[in-house]
Chains A and B, each alone.
Chain A
Amino acid sequence: MATTDKPRLSRDHVLELLRHMIRIRRFEGKCAELYTQEKIRGFLHLYDGEEAVAVGVIPVLESRDRVVATYREHGHALVRGVPMKAALAEMYGKQEGCSHGRGGSMHLFDRSTNFYGGNAIVGGGLPLAIGLALADRMRGSDNVTACFFGEGAVAEGEFHESANLAALWSLPVLFVCENNRYAMGTALALSESETDIQHKAACYHMASEAVDGMDVVAVEAAARRAVATIRETGRPYFLECRTYRLRAHSMFDAQLYRDKSEIEAWREKGPILRFRTWLEQNNMLHPLDLVRIEAEVGAEIDEAVAFAEAAAWEPIEQLTRFVYAEQTARDRPVNHVATKS
């Protein structure tokens, strides 16, 4: 099945894109509020400003494809289909959370949507993505593994090892680098000798391009191209999405490293505002659409909050569960001889 190259910009589709982005934005805002009230604890990394990347890429994937993300993964989880209730309950630490409450904001996992975290070590998810793709490749499947990471991960050795392995072994990986210009508090120019990241990736001999990460349609188009190429050639693809993080790195960040004026300038170019403006200018968006979207999203968020509030704390007696597999029945080997030469 070929992924079509171009996004079909029907009204339904564009409203869906807008809805996804608004849904993420409002959810993140609610998370911020809940965090200040100490309902969500630990670290909280919000996605404001980068919504177009997750929303542009993930719906292009099939449900059989795989998604690996970072600790700034709420948006990816939501658009991939992890239920909002489960995600929020997870952040509360309740056992109805998608990771049984064990992981929290940085470790959202969901088997049913092939969502492999939620990884808190910068660059740590890349080898994992390589492995998932390797398994698919060795079994002759054309699943794609989409691996999201920030431009800060490009400094880690694991990025280079993974890029090399993906290209060397022809693995079906879609590397999505969300270049939001700051790795926590360090600007890209202060940490990379070569700041053109898609160029760096191209040096590993894989298809590589950069796209305006604030333009959800451009991101979708690039993602369609990339996924189609991967399925067809079996080779990896690198997509650098140039974007901006409108909030601080995490909640407890005084943002001493950038000017407020810079943030405000980017806010004017943010993906939701930009897309909305474009839709309005092209008569594809009516005011009532927005009202409806906001109302639906608001209701869904309220429901998720109520769910998370009412959800249960896991009993302390169960503390040492989930360290090893609990079933005693072993996975018996498949009893036939390998026929490969």
Chain B
Amino acid sequence: MAEFRMPSLGADMEAGTLVEWLVKPGDQVKRGDIIAVVETQKGAIEIENFEPGTVEKILVEVGTKVPVGTPLAMIRAEGEPAMSITAPAQPPEPAVAPSRPLEPKAPAPAPTPAPAAGAEAEERVRISPAARRLAEQHGIDVSTLLGSGADGAILLSDVARIIAEPKIGGARGRGFDLAAMRDAIAAAMARSKREIPHYYLAQPIEMTACQDWLAAVNAKRPPDRRLLLGALLVKAVARAARKFPAFNGFYRDGAFKPAPSVHVGMAIAIRGGGLIAPAIHDADGLSLDALMTEMRELVGRVRSGRIRSSEMADPTITVSSLGERGVEQLYGIIYPPQVAIVGFGKVAPSPWIADGKVVARPVINATLAADHRVTDGHAGALFLSEIETLLQEPETL
């Protein structure tokens, strides 16, 4: 007994609908006879029989859609006994078009909140594969590295420099006791907020001059000799502090004493939650190149735990910049016994009025938190204004 099956008529045919039987049980059929018509996506196609014999039984009724290979009828060859009553081995099943389950779209991730002033969020380190490999080979924690590449990327040269530096203090790795430091910071901050009457001022500063000047200067320099915006900011603050001594010094024992030198404390975050602000000594007198070098080295040493205690105690004014973290304005807490802290947010294109028209300019928000026992808002405004003026002529810094 032969099975007449739904034929495959093409590579993309999966099923067909039987629309007409041209034979009935008892009919004689030859090889090549057209015995049924099947509807496919291309139209109705006549299907031919290949086994000579007699049609024994129709298995699939008109109008049924079945997959390729499904038996449609039984053909009895000459001389074969008639089929017994038992059901055929494979009962035909109508084809069920498989439906693709709709895949739900993954919900958009919630935006990460901007980190609070002074804290360092866990983040991806921007480092080239080769630099990472070199750092790993030398056991250097990549999160302690400062990068000189585009967007602060850490390059081979940055790692190589760290490897080449002699270590102060001998011991490798971190020189900090993080827990102790956190306690100290907590105490200092609490005291500051308790004892120092803070006032806050903010000043948006147009940064086109700085950006243009930096681009021009840096275009001619190899990566490890380029100036970053931070150097301009620190230098401007340092020179303004020199001009306005009421913001540069210490308040102790009920009195303020201006400092003879300007040592700018640079707030540097440490992975794990620490924050220190070691000093760049005589920042007002350093050339920008020298300042940049100092800043780089300082960060490098902070992150690898090799800071001298004098650097920790000496700052006469502090600068904190969270621009890279995306913060627009920063309201700092003064580090006692200092009397001021200047904060900078990110440089972002903002509406600006020029010649009576609204234009887009790169703008940074500078903020001043100062000790109201020593200065007032008027002086603070002049101080910030001086910083602004200085930043309009970066070539003079």
Are A and B subunits of one complex?
yes
Q: A residues touching B (Cβ–Cβ < 8 Å)?
A: 29, 32-33, 35-38, 41-43, 248, 250-256
Residues from chain B with a CB closer than 8 A to the CB of A42 are 11
- Contacts A36-B9, A37-B7, A37-B8; A254 near B68 (Cβ below 8 A): no
Given A29-B32, A250-B10, A253-B42; 10 other pairs, CB 8 A cutoff = A32-B48, A36-B9, A36-B50, A41-B11, A43-B11, A248-B45, A252-B9, A252-B45, A253-B45, A254-B40
The 8 Å CB contact of B68, one of A29, A38, A256, is A38
A125–B9 Cα distance when bound, in Å, is: 27
A254–B31 Cα distance when bound, in Å, is: 20
A53–B340 Cα distance when bound, in Å, is: 102
**11 A–B contact pairs at CB < 8 A?**
A29-B32, A32-B48, A35-B8, A36-B50, A37-B7, A37-B8, A43-B10, A43-B11, A248-B45, A254-B44, A255-B45
Residues from chain B with a CB closer than 8 A to the CB of A37 are 5, 7-8
Residues from chain A with a CB closer than 8 A to the CB of B44 are 254
Q: Is B222 an interface residue (CB 8 A)?
A: no
- Contacts A35-B8, A38-B8, A42-B11; A252 near B40 (Cβ below 8 A): yes
Residues from chain B with a CB closer than 8 A to the CB of A33 are 50
Q: Is B260 an interface residue (CB 8 A)?
A: no
- Contacts A32-B48, A33-B50; A251 near B10 (Cβ below 8 A): yes
- As a 0/1 sequence over residues 37 to 78 of chain B, the CB contacts with chain A under 8 angstroms (1 = contact) are 000101111011010000000000000000011000000000
- Contacts A29-B32, A254-B42, A254-B44; A38 near B69 (Cβ below 8 A): yes
The 8 Å CB contact of B43, one of A36, A41, A43, A256, is A256
The 8 Å CB contact of A252, one of B5, B10, B50, B69, is B10
Q: In B110-156, which residues have CB < 8 Å from any A CB? A: none
A255–B40 Cα distance when bound, in Å, is: 12
Q: Is B13 an interface residue (CB 8 A)?
A: yes
Residues from chain A with a CB closer than 8 A to the CB of B40 are 252, 254
Residues from chain A with a CB closer than 8 A to the CB of B50 are 33, 36
A20–B52 Cα distance when bound, in Å, is: 24
A253–B47 Cα distance when bound, in Å, is: 11
A54–B143 Cα distance when bound, in Å, is: 78
The 8 Å CB contact of B42, one of A29, A41, A252, is A252
A185–B10 Cα distance when bound, in Å, is: 16
Which residue of A has the minimal Cβ distance to B7?
A36
A250–B10 Cα distance when bound, in Å, is: 9
**In the complex, what's the smallest C-beta–C-beta distance from B234 to chain A, in angstroms?**
61
Number of A-B contacts (CB under 8 A): 44
Which residue of B has the minimal Cβ distance to A252?
B10
The 6 closest A-B pairs by CB, nearest first: A252-B10, A254-B43, A36-B7, A33-B50, A252-B9, A38-B8
**In the complex, what's the smallest C-beta–C-beta distance from B319 to chain A, in angstroms?**
62
- As a 0/1 sequence over residues 234 to 276 of chain B, the CB contacts with chain A under 8 angstroms (1 = contact) are 0000000000000000000000000000000000000000000
A254–B42 Cα distance when bound, in Å, is: 6
Let me know if B68 and A251 touch, CB within 8 A.
no
A248–B11 Cα distance when bound, in Å, is: 16
A42–B44 Cα distance when bound, in Å, is: 20
**In the complex, what's the smallest C-beta–C-beta distance from B22 to chain A, in angstroms?**
13
Residues from chain B with a CB closer than 8 A to the CB of A254 are 40, 42-45
Residues from chain A with a CB closer than 8 A to the CB of B43 are 254, 256
A32–B47 Cα distance when bound, in Å, is: 11
A29–B44 Cα distance when bound, in Å, is: 20
Residues from chain A with a CB closer than 8 A to the CB of B11 are 41-43, 252
Q: In B2-34, which residues have CB < 8 Å from any A CB? A: 5, 7-13, 31-32
A41–B12 Cα distance when bound, in Å, is: 10
**In the complex, what's the smallest C-beta–C-beta distance from B129 to chain A, in angstroms?**
30
Let me know if A251 and B9 touch, CB within 8 A.
yes
**In the complex, what's the smallest C-beta–C-beta distance from B53 to chain A, in angstroms?**
15
Question: Among the interface residues B13, B32, B45, B68, which one has the most CB atoms of the partner chain A within 10 A?
Answer: B45
Residues from chain A with a CB closer than 8 A to the CB of B68 are 38
**In the complex, what's the smallest C-beta–C-beta distance from B334 to chain A, in angstroms?**
71
Question: Among the interface residues B10, B12, B42, B69, which one has the most CB atoms of the partner chain A within 10 A?
Answer: B10
A36–B8 Cα distance when bound, in Å, is: 4
Residues from chain B with a CB closer than 8 A to the CB of A41 are 11
A132–B45 Cα distance when bound, in Å, is: 41
**In the complex, what's the smallest C-beta–C-beta distance from B173 to chain A, in angstroms?**
51
**In the complex, what's the smallest C-beta–C-beta distance from A48 to chain B, in angstroms?**
10
**In the complex, what's the smallest C-beta–C-beta distance from B61 to chain A, in angstroms?**
21
A254–B45 Cα distance when bound, in Å, is: 5
A32–B49 Cα distance when bound, in Å, is: 11
Residues from chain A with a CB closer than 8 A to the CB of B45 are 248, 252-255
Which residue of B has the minimal Cβ distance to A36?
B7
Residues from chain A with a CB closer than 8 A to the CB of B42 are 252-254
Residues from chain A with a CB closer than 8 A to the CB of B31 are 29
**In the complex, what's the smallest C-beta–C-beta distance from B2 to chain A, in angstroms?**
12
A251–B69 Cα distance when bound, in Å, is: 16
Which residue of B has the minimal Cβ distance to A253?
B42
The 8 Å CB contact of B13, one of A43, A252, A256, is A252
Residues from chain B with a CB closer than 8 A to the CB of A38 are 8, 68-69
A35–B31 Cα distance when bound, in Å, is: 15
A32–B45 Cα distance when bound, in Å, is: 14
A42–B9 Cα distance when bound, in Å, is: 10
**In the complex, what's the smallest C-beta–C-beta distance from B67 to chain A, in angstroms?**
12
Question: Among the interface residues A35, A248, A250, A254, which one has the most CB atoms of the partner chain B within 10 A?
Answer: A254
A255–B8 Cα distance when bound, in Å, is: 17
**In the complex, what's the smallest C-beta–C-beta distance from B339 to chain A, in angstroms?**
75
Residues from chain B with a CB closer than 8 A to the CB of A251 are 9-10
Residues from chain B with a CB closer than 8 A to the CB of A29 are 31-32
A33–B196 Cα distance when bound, in Å, is: 97
